[in-house]
Amino acid sequence: MELTHGIIKGLLPRRAADGHKGDFGKVFCVCGSVGYTGAPMFASRAAVRCGCGLVFLAVPQAIWTVAAVKSDEAMVFPAPDREGRLSLAAEESLRRRAGECDAVLLGCGLGRGEETDALSRRLLDIRKPLVLDADGINALAGHIDKLEHRRGLTTVLTPHGGEFARIAVPGASREESAAAFAARHGVFLILKGHRTVIAAPDGRLAVNPIGNSGMAKGGSGDVLAGMVLSLLGQGMEPFDACCGAVYLHALAGDLAARELTERAMTPSDLVEYIPRAYREIEHS
């Protein structure tokens, strides 16, 4: 299936006129480390822009003041860290917050370290819809069997080609590789890149035909991860949430490039153009 404006318009949930913030989802981002303070901002801001009612953000204690100053809508709290990255001592507080939310994002800008990788793998048994991005995916390298803890739960992986190569055996095509991985591990896979592929464990497959090279900049993937998280938190069926986020993300990129050029647009612009993408879909 190739995604279109019409398909996405039919998937997006309606917002009740008398709804309150609790009706539109509560999500939790576990992101960031020293040197990667932009990733948690991109993810949490995108989650808000996509319509989520409440967004919580956990970051290492070392960057909490930076994240708190840069966050207006997301509610930020510090978590125990070591050498600027989340440590195993953060596990209890992260589990407690995750248990209060509708969906969880793990990975954007976490960095790599023995404790941080171990923490990521231990949190795989959280019984909430879980989005794994960036270093949340990299922590699975050599430990792909840990995904068995997620059988029967909603799990979304959002790798680019390099991250995917660390956890999967390439197939004859991107579509075949994505479909095989999703089916084998019981996950929803968003294989990012030109003509991003979305694969479901039950065999459903979609391809995104839009987007542009201006989106090929550090931070764009964090925006997408936050968008997926937001739509999951709002109660969308997982495959629909993945398709909706991917398409809206790409459409925001095309609208930004139209005004700002592919060379000059930034991931921050992607977040700012999400409302225009929604408007174009709604009026199509």
Average pLDDT over residues 47-68: 97
Distance CA 128, CA 95 (A): 10
Does residue 156 contact residue 228 with C-beta atoms inside 8 Å? yes
Q: Is the pLDDT of residue 155 over 80?
A: yes
Asked whether residue 9 is domain-assigned, the answer is no
pLDDT of res. 257: 98
Asked whether residue 3 is domain-assigned, the answer is no
pLDDT tens digit string along 75-130? Answer: 999 999 999 999 999 999 999 999 999 999 999 999 999 999 999 999 999 999 99
Asked whether residue 14 is domain-assigned, the answer is no
Asked whether residue 89 is domain-assigned, the answer is yes
Does residue 139 contact residue 120 with C-beta atoms inside 8 Å? yes
Distance CA 5, CA 229 (A): 21
Q: Is the pLDDT of residue 230 over 90?
A: yes
How many distinct structural domains can be found in the chain? 1
Asked whether residue 232 is domain-assigned, the answer is yes
pLDDT of res. 38: 97
pLDDT of res. 13: 86
Does residue 128 contact residue 103 with C-beta atoms inside 8 Å? yes
CATH code of the domain covering residue 240: 3.40.1190.20
pLDDT of res. 238: 98
* 130 backbone dihedrals φ, ψ, rounded to 5°: -130, 130
Distance CA 157, CA 155 (A): 7
pLDDT tens digit string along 157-214? Answer: 999 999 999 999 777 799 999 999 999 999 999 999 999 999 999 999 999 999 999 9
Distance CA 240, CA 231 (A): 9
Asked whether residue 95 is domain-assigned, the answer is yes
Q: Is 197 helix (H, G, I), strand (E, B) or coil?
A: strand
The boundaries of the domain holding residue 193 are 20-282
Asked whether residue 106 is domain-assigned, the answer is yes
pLDDT of res. 129: 98
